[in-house]
Amino acid sequence: MSDKPDSPEQADPAGTPASPVDRNPWDALRRFTNARIALGRAGSSLPTAPLLAFNLSHAQARDAVHQPLDTAALNDALRAAGFDTLDAASAAPDRDHYLRRPDLGRALSGESAARLAQHASTMSGAPDVVFVVADGLSAYAATRHAVPFLDTLRKKLDGWNIGPVVVATQARVALGDGIGELLRARIVVVLIGERPGLSSPDSLGIYLTYEPRVGRSDAERNCISNVRPEGLAYDAAAFKLHYLLNEARRLKLTGVGLKDHSDALPVPTARPGAIESR
């Protein structure tokens, strides 16, 4: 009879089974990033714990894409913070159309366009900037980050005429062009849920466009991405956006002609490697 154990695990001389997981020599680097590195292996596969964590992150990313934006709660939170609000919707009638027809998410519904035009006719003057909070591909991001970020940014905008915050559903970035045009905004800033990653289901993107109008291209915008406490912190993102807003107003443009040199200035501390802007 063989003395070898039936289990593939080999026992040490004290009789304690060895771990079936082979640790990766880069394991110590994992504390510096949320990326899936140095997970180790069990035989020819992943260990159980990292595999379950991956499945959970995948489910959270899928949920973020399909979660509807609670516009009533977001409007209440914005108004409690001192912002005037308006609602808008894209031409996409539901989430399925939104995901399959990106073009519909870039155009306002007829009802929303009429409502915004009516509101513009009652405004005493053209706003310097209009903010749009949009669900995009992660309503969770808009719900979690838009209000605290705008509250942080507003402290830096002395002397700016800020228009109403427009809460937009089934929205793509370019929906802000039509909104800004109807409200006669000098600049429109779209805060939108970014495509979820497997470590960031709640990443907020910020896009600003000078003299918004339907037909603007992505080359005519600037973007700040990964805004969230675990990425680019609110203070740091507000600092960058404030810089870009001032430069856009001075140069009368955004996009490829507007370079972000804010990193050369004193800036609030953010997580290393978390800043991505273009």
Is residue 64 a contact partner of residue 135, using CB atoms and an 8 Å limit? no
- For residues 8 and 143, which has the higher predicted lDDT (pLDDT)? 143
State percent of the chain over pLDDT 90.
65
pLDDT tens digits, one per residue of 212-267? 999 999 999 999 999 999 899 999 999 999 999 999 999 999 999 999 999 888 75
- Sign for the pseudo-dihedral over CA of 148, 151, 156, 161: positive
pLDDT tens digits, one per residue of 95-114? 999 999 999 999 999 999 99
- For residues 11 and 95, which has the higher predicted lDDT (pLDDT)? 95
Residue 26 pLDDT greater than 90, yes or no: no
- For residues 230 and 2, which has the higher predicted lDDT (pLDDT)? 230
Is residue 132 a contact partner of residue 188, using CB atoms and an 8 Å limit? yes
Q: Residue 278 has which token pair? A: 């273009």
> Exposed, middle or buried by CB within 10 Å (0-12, 13-18, 19+), for 204?
buried
Task: Look at 47-51, 89-93, 122-126, 213-217 and tell me which has the smallest mean pLDDT.
Answer: 47-51
| Residue 223 assigned ligand-binding role | yes
Which pLDDT belongs to residue 29? 74
Residue 197 CB: number of other CB atoms within 10 A?
Answer: 16
Residue 63 CB: number of other CB atoms within 10 A?
Answer: 14
Q: Which helix (H) or strand (E) holds 154?
A: helix 139-154
| Residue 230 assigned ligand-binding role | no
User: In order of start, what are the domains of the chain with their CATH numbers?
Assistant: 68-277 (3.40.50.11240)
CA distance 11 to 189: 62
DSSP assigned state of 253: -
| Residue 194 assigned ligand-binding role | yes
Which pLDDT belongs to residue 268? 52
Which pLDDT belongs to residue 122? 94
Tell me which residue of 198, 268, 272 sits closest to 231, measured CA to CA.
Answer: 272
Residue 16 pLDDT greater than 90, yes or no: no
- Residues 28-33, mean pLDDT to the nearest whole number: 74
Side-chain half-sphere CA neighbours of 178 within 13 A: 23
Q: Residue 52 has which token pair? A: 């379950």
CA distance 202 to 144: 8
